[in-house]
């Protein structure tokens, strides 16, 4: 029988690739949840993660025009960078956030967004530096601790990552985004059952958003429970948002045949 946590190098690579992709989406979305708002930010009819490619392109054009009018506005810049990241334009998103950080060098929210953009572009050492510069020991920020944990996970330091997540939970108990990141940390180590426990708890918390639900659906799907995974992905959403989430889930599980083959290989190697 297949045992979670006992895997070949091939299955570890596949699982890591899937989880890193999901963590990347989670990091990208963090900036869009910032609390800075101004009247100059274009409105959107639905969350960025629920938009299709055409909608993201349209949104990026509108946010881009707003950014060109006022490149020093941190809220506009961070929103624009989020749209670019969700559109797969990480390098351009980083360039935008770099300019926003130059104009707002002491803004903790901006520095956090800059760190996340650096991570999205694969510049993890610089990302950690930016996140840590934004943090203050006497007034620690749970969002920065959680973001630091996600970066450490992508750098292959799960122990360090989980230490940050638990410190973040001390500051913000039961925060769904932290529980979600903690769950995905266990996915990276192949412990899908523990991951599911944390993600189930995250989904049940007030304020849990679509990304948290997507992560739980992904973990359930990786265990072969596809019908249940699609039900989770589409729960409590409009039909359009539900379809977007199911499409995301299917894309993340698109290598499922390869995943099943690797599990079977692992089973034969460990029996």
Tell me the C-alpha distance between 234 and 246, whole Å: 6
The answer to whether 48 and 59 are in contact (CB under 8 A) is yes
pLDDT, position 230: 87
- For the segment 112-116, the average pLDDT, to the nearest whole number, is 86
Most confident of 36-50, 218-232, 250-264: 218-232
The answer to whether 120 and 27 are in contact (CB under 8 A) is yes
pTM above 0.75, yes or no: no
All residues at 6 or more sequence positions from 64 whose CB lies less than 8 Å from its CB, including other chains: 80
Question: Sign of torsion, CA 114 117 119 125?
Answer: negative
The answer to whether 234 and 226 are in contact (CB under 8 A) is no
All residues at 6 or more sequence positions from 97 whose CB lies less than 8 Å from its CB, including other chains: 31, 77, 78, 81, 110, 113, 114, 117, 118
- For the segment 114-120, the average pLDDT, to the nearest whole number, is 86
pLDDT band at 233 (very low <50, low <70, confident <90, very high): confident
pLDDT, position 86: 82
- For the segment 22-36, the average pLDDT, to the nearest whole number, is 42
| pLDDT at 14 > cutoff 50 | no
| pLDDT at 204 > cutoff 90 | yes
């Amino acid at each position: 029988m297949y045992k979670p946590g006992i895997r070949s190098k091939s299955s570890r690579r596949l699982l890591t690739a899937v989880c890193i992709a999901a963590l990347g989406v989670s990091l990208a979305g963090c900036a869009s949840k910032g609390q800075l708002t101004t009247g100059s930010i274009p409105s959107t009819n639905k969350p960025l993660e629920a938009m299709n490619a055409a909608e993201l392109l349209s949104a990026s054009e509108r946010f881009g025009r707003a950014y060109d009018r006022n490149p020093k506005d941190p809220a506009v810049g961070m929103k624009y960078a989020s749209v670019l990241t969700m559109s797969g334009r990480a390098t351009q998103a980083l360039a935008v956030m770099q300019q926003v950080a130059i104009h707002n060098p002491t803004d903790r929210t901006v520095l956090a967004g800059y760190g996340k953009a650096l991570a999205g572009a694969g510049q993890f050492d610089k990302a950690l530096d930016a996140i840590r510069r934004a943090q203050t020991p006497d007034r620690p920020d749970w969002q920065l601790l959680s973001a630091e944990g996600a970066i450490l996970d992508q750098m292959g330091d799960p122990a360090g990552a989980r230490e940050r997540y638990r410190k973040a939970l001390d500051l913000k108990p039961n925060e769904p985004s932290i529980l979600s990141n903690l769950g995905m940390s266990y996915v990276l180590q192949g412990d899908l059952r523990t991951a599911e426990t944390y993600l189930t708890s995250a989904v049940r918390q007030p304020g849990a958003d679509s990304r948290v639900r997507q992560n739980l659906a992904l973990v359930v799907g990786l265990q072969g429970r596809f019908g249940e995974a699609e039900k989770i992905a589409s729960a409590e959403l409009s039909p359009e948002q539900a379809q977007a989430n199911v499409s995301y889930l299917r894309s993340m599980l698109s290598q499922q045949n390869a995943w099943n083959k690797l599990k079977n290989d692992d089973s034969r190697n460990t029996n």
